Amino acid sequence: MMPSPTIKKPFDITAIREQFPVLSREVKGRSLVYFDNAATSQKPQQVIDALVNYYTTYNANIHRGIHTLAEEATAAFEETRDAVQEFIHASAREEIIFTRGTTESINLVAYTWGRQNIKSGDEIIISTMEHHSNIVPWQILCEEKGAILRVIPINDKGELLMDEYSKLLNSRTKLVSIVHASNALGTINPVRQIIEEAHSAGAVVLVDGAQSTVHLDIDVQEMDCDFFAFSAHKLYGPTGTGILYGKKRLLESMPVFLGGGEMIREVTFAKTTYNDLPYKFEAGTPNIADVIAFKTALQFIEDTGKEKIRKHEHELLEYATKQLEEIPGLRIIGSAREKVSVISFIVDNTHPQDIGILLDNRGIAVRTGHHCAEPLMQRFGIPGTIRASFAVYNTKDEVDELAIGLHKAIKMLS
Ligand code: PLP
C-alpha cells in the first residue's frame, strides 16, 4: 500500500486530531482526554465514511454474487487482504485470514493446528505477561490433550528472563505463543530471538501482535514467526475484525476450523471437500463492512507515517513517565528498556478503580483493573493497575491534564 502522495506531510497534530470526530466531544463538561487506546483506539472520519459508504452504495454479500454490487463488495474486501499483506510484509495474500480479532485468531490456531499437533506430554510455552486470550485457549488444549503449559518468568521491570526461557525449551516443546508487546506493562519482547531459539528446538511460534502492530513495523517474514495475530480495532479500524497470519505451508496442513458456507469446495451428504486458502478458514458471511473499512485505517497509518507516529508516541511515553514519577506515592509497574506507549501504575493506599472514576469525572479515560492479565497482576502482588496508553492523536497537554487529575484524585482519596 503506497502512501497517498497528496496527503504525505509533516506530523501535524492538529490536522491529525481533526480527523477523529470523537476527540471534539466533552465528557462530564470537559474536553475528552482519551488514554484507553490499548483497549481500543478511536476511529478517523475516513474509516467511519468507508463503513457508511459500503452500506449506502454497495452493500452485498461477497464472493458468490455475479451482480455489480457483489463484485464491488468482493473487490473492496479482497483489497483489504492485499493491504494487510503489504502492511505486515507477508509473502502471499493466502496467508492472511480474516477473523473477529486476536482472540479468535489464537483460538483458530489452538483448535486446528493445536488439535492436530499437540499430544499428551507435549509442552507449550507462554509467558507471565500474556493476555488471557493467549493463556486460556492453550489451557483448554493442554487439558484436553494432557499437554503441559510452561511459563517464562519475568523480572521486576517486566522483562522476560530469557535465560529461563532457554532452559524451558526442549524436545517436548511444540509451541511457543508469546505476546509481542504487553498490554499491561508496555514491554516489547525480543520476539526475533524467541523465535530463533524456538525454531532451533523444533517448536512453532505464534506471536500475539494485538498491541505491537499499531506501534511497531511488522515484518512477519523477517521475524520468521509461524503465526501472527492482531485486531483491527487497535489500529484505528473497526471492531469485530482481526487477522490471523500463518505461513502457507502450515495453514495448508491444518484441518479446517468452522464448517459452513464459503470454506467448502464441494458438499455431498457422503463427503465434503474444502476450499483453498484463505477461504478454507473463513466460513460464513464475514464482517464485510468492517474488513473493507480496515483498509482505510491502514491507509491512515501509512499516510501519517509509522516512523513519525512512533516518535510522537515515544515522546509522550517519556514525558508521561517523568510527570508520573514525580507524584508521591505513585509507582509505575513496568519499566522495561523497550516499551510501547503504555504506562501502568498504582498509587499507595488507593484502589485503581477509585482513581479511574475521579479521572473520568475530569473527562480523562484510562483503564483500571487487571487488563485481562490476572497472572501478571499476581506476579506483582497487586489486584490491578491504572493504565494510560497513548495514540497518534494524544498530546503533552493531555498528559499534563492527567498529572493534574492524579494530584487532585490522590488528595481527595487521602
Ligand atoms: N492480546 C493482547 C496483548 C491484547 O492487548 C488484547 C486486547 O486487549 C488481546 C490479545 C485480545 O484482543 P481482542 O479482544 O481484540 O481479540
- The angle subtended at Cα 278 by Cα 276 and Cα 281, nearest 5°, is 95
Domains by residue range for the chain, with CATH: 13-39+305-413 (3.90.1150.10), 49-302 (3.40.640.10)
CA distances from 366 to 82, 143, 211, 356, 359 (A): 34, 36, 16, 6, 8
Residue 10, pLDDT score: 86
- Nearest atom within ligand 1 for CA of residue 105: 16
> 372 C-alpha to center of ligand 1: Å?
8
**Ligand 1 pocket: which of 231, 236, 239 to mutate (most atoms within 8 A of CB):** 231
pLDDT at 285 over 90: yes
Q: Is the pLDDT of residue 112 over 80?
A: yes
Total-model pTM: 0.97
Q: Give per-residue pLDDT as tens, 304-363.
A: 999 999 999 999 999 999 999 999 999 999 999 999 999 999 999 999 999 999 999 999
Average pLDDT over residues 241-267: 96
Whether ligand 1 lies within 6 angstroms of the CB of 186 is answered as: no
Q: How far apart are CA 80 and CA 50, in angstroms?
A: 12
pLDDT of residue 53: 98
Catalytic entry in 13, 161, 250, 372? 372
Q: Measured between alpha carbons, how far is residue 245 from residues 50, 98, 220, 351 in Å?
A: 24, 9, 8, 39
Per DSSP, the three-state class of 43 is: coil
Q: Which of 174, 168, 186, 171 is nearest to 127 (CA)?
A: 168
pLDDT in the model for residue 207: 99
Mutation to probe ligand 1, out of 40, 98, 99, 102 (largest number of atoms < 8 A from CB): 102
Residue 238 above 60 pLDDT? yes
Nine cell digits for residue 11: 506530523
CB 265 within 8 A of CB 252: no
pLDDT for res 5: 52
Return the C-alpha cell found at 330.
505513585
What separation in Å is there between the alpha carbon of 350 and the centre of ligand 1?
Answer: 27
Measured CA to CA in angstroms, residue 302 lies from 79, 86, 235, 299, 318 at distances of 15, 11, 11, 5, 24
pLDDT, position 65: 84
- What is the DSSP secondary-structure string of 137-196? HHHHHHHHHT-EEEEE-B-TTS-B-HHHHHHH--TTEEEEEEESB-TTT-BBP-HHHHHH
Question: Whose grid coordinates read 502522495?
Answer: 5
pLDDT confidence of residue 311: 97
Tell me the C-alpha distance between 190 and 397, whole Å: 32
- State pLDDT tens for residues 48-80: 999 999 999 999 999 988 999 999 999 999 999
The pLDDT confidence band at residue 265, using thresholds 50, 70 and 90, is very high
Amino acid 8: pLDDT: 58
CA dist 236 and 232 (Å) reads: 7
% the chain with pLDDT above 90: 97
Give pLDDT, residue 32. Answer: 98
- Whether the pLDDT of residue 3 is over 60: the answer is no
pLDDT in tens, 162-217: 999 999 999 999 999 999 999 999 999 999 999 999 999 999 999 999 999 999 99
Is residue 109 predicted with pLDDT exceeding 70?
yes
Q: What angle do CA 341, 247, 47 make, to 5 degrees?
A: 45
Q: Catalytic: 225?
A: no
Q: What is the pLDDT of residues 118-173, one digit of tens each?
A: 999 999 999 999 999 999 999 999 999 999 999 999 999 999 999 999 999 999 99
Whole-angstrom Cα distance, residue 232 to residue 214?
9
User: How far, in Å, CA of 50 to CA of 179, rounded?
Assistant: 31
3-state helix, strand, coil split of the chain in percent (to 5) is 45, 20, 40
> Ligand 1 within 6 A of 231 CB?
yes
